[in-house]
């Protein structure tokens, strides 16, 4: 056989092996294709067997040439094996792929603090920094705490069925109405405080000052854009031996300026009347700049605690003097956020409330 023919024949054999390997789409197909060339009855094996009749010289050249072809075929097989394994790995990776570029699933309706709760937290924080404790009291009150103890006469208009929600089965001493203001907490808290220091007081010694605020829900038969049958109040009480109206002005001015984050704010104490304070004053504020500038806005009632009320607390009005204020957190929230209808706070409409998250 002519050496060129030999080369061509073996080259063709390697080429057809490469082609068949390339056509094998799976490892199993590839192993079948391999058997056709390198198996026991494979074509390379056949060629080897065919050398039996050749001379020693011829065996050398022919054997070397067949070996080259065999190695080429084996190399092609290994390459294709690796290709198929790589393809399989890629397919598996793709099938199990996690798309980490996908945006996370939103939690949807994430909650937030109600705007009025935010205001209450601010109020507690600011008064807390001025040494005021926070007290909480019942929303179903007795006639005594809501009216009588606060020097509110029987025929006071605030007692009328029109203003007050009464509950069935109560008595003037037992819970019989929904508190119309947080002022009953003046009595409740002071009585508790005084009880604690009774021994000191009886020995003629000084009692620690009372400084407390009492935020919470209050109720009146009233409903329009600026009144809701349920609304919020926050009471403030400061009782000591050396407290004066000046102190009330100082702390309330500091409170307003901190609450509204503005020194550009003036206060006015406008003479008024409350049965449980004497003298009494409405507290108005006026912004000097911004959208509300120039208007007097009423934010609280206040006054010196009436001597009869001090007595009802168990204290001697000749020795102890108190100042009280009651503000409307709903109103403060409206002013702070520019909301013009109070009812929006209590409708529970998520579109409105979510703006404050």
CB of 181 to ligand PHE, least distance (A): 3
CB of 100 to ligand PHE, least distance (A): 58
Strands of 230-240's sheet, edge to edge?
Answer: 133-134, 210-219, 230-240, 321-327, 297-305, 277-287, 265-274
Closest residue to ligand PHE, judged by C-beta, is 326
Which of residues 146 and 176 has its CB atom nearest to ligand PHE in the complex?
146
Which of residues 73 and 312 has its CB atom nearest to ligand PHE in the complex?
312
Percent helix, percent strand, percent coil in the chain, to nearest 5: 45, 20, 35
| CA distances, 76 to each of 84, 174, 311 (Å) | 12, 100, 108
Q: What's the token pair of residue 341?
A: 């209808």
Q: Check residue 314 and report its DSSP letter.
A: T
Which of residues 29 and 163 has its CB atom nearest to ligand PHE in the complex?
163
CB of 114 to ligand PHE, least distance (A): 22
- Tell me if 80 sits within 8 A of 30, measured CB to CB: yes
Which of residues 134 and 353 has its CB atom nearest to ligand PHE in the complex?
134
Question: What number of other Cβ atoms are within 10 A of residue 350's Cβ?
Answer: 10
CB of 323 to ligand PHE, least distance (A): 8
Q: How far apart are CA 337 and CA 328, in angstroms?
A: 14
Which of residues 119 and 183 has its CB atom nearest to ligand PHE in the complex?
183
Positions that interact with ligand PHE (CB under 6 A): 181, 183, 274, 277, 280, 301-303, 324-326
CB of 276 to ligand PHE, least distance (A): 7
| CA distances, 43 to each of 33, 69, 222, 230 (Å) | 11, 11, 104, 98
């Amino acid at each position: 056989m002519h050496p060129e023919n030999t080369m061509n024949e073996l080259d063709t054999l390697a080429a057809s092996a490469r082609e068949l390997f390339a056509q094998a789409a799976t490892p199993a197909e590839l192993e079948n294709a391999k058997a056709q060339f390198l198996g026991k009855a494979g074509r390379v094996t056949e060629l080897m067997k065919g050398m039996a009749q050749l001379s020693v010289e011829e065996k050398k050249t022919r054997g070397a040439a067949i070996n080259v072809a065999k190695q080429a075929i084996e190399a092609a097989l290994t390459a294709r094996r690796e290709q198929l394994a790589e393809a399989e790995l890629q397919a598996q990776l793709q099938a199990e792929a996690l798309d980490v570029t996908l945006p996370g699933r939103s939690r949807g309706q994430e909650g937030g603090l109600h705007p009025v709760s935010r205001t209450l937290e601010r109020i507690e924080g600011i008064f807390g920094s001025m040494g005021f404790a926070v007290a909480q009291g019942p929303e179903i009150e007795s006639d005594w705490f809501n009216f009588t103890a606060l020097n509110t006469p029987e025929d006071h208009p605030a007692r009328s069925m029109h203003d007050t929600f009464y509950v069935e089965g109560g008595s003037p001493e037992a819970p019989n109405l929904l508190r119309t203001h947080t002022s009953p907490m003046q009595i409740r808290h002071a009585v508790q405080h005084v009880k604690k220091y009774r021994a000191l007081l009886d020995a003629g010694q000084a009692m620690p000052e009372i400084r407390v605020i009492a935020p919470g829900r209050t109720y009146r038969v009233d409903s329009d854009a600026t009144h809701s049958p349920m609304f919020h109040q926050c009471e403030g009480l400061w009782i000591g031996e050396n407290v004066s109206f000046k102190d009330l002005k100082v702390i309330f001015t500091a409170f307003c300026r901190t609450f509204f984050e503005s020194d550009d704010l003036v206060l006015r104490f406008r003479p008024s009347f409350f049965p449980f304070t004497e003298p009494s004053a409405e507290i108005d504020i006026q912004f000097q700049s911004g959208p509300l500038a120039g208007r007097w806005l009423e934010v609280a009632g206040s006054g010196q605690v009436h001597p009869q009320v001090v007595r009802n607390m168990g204290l001697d009005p000749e020795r102890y003097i108190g100042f009280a204020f009651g503000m409307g957190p709903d109103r403060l929230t409206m002013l702070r956020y520019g909301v013009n209808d109070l009812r929006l706070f209590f409708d529970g409409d998520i579109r409105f409330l979510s703006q404050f998250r």
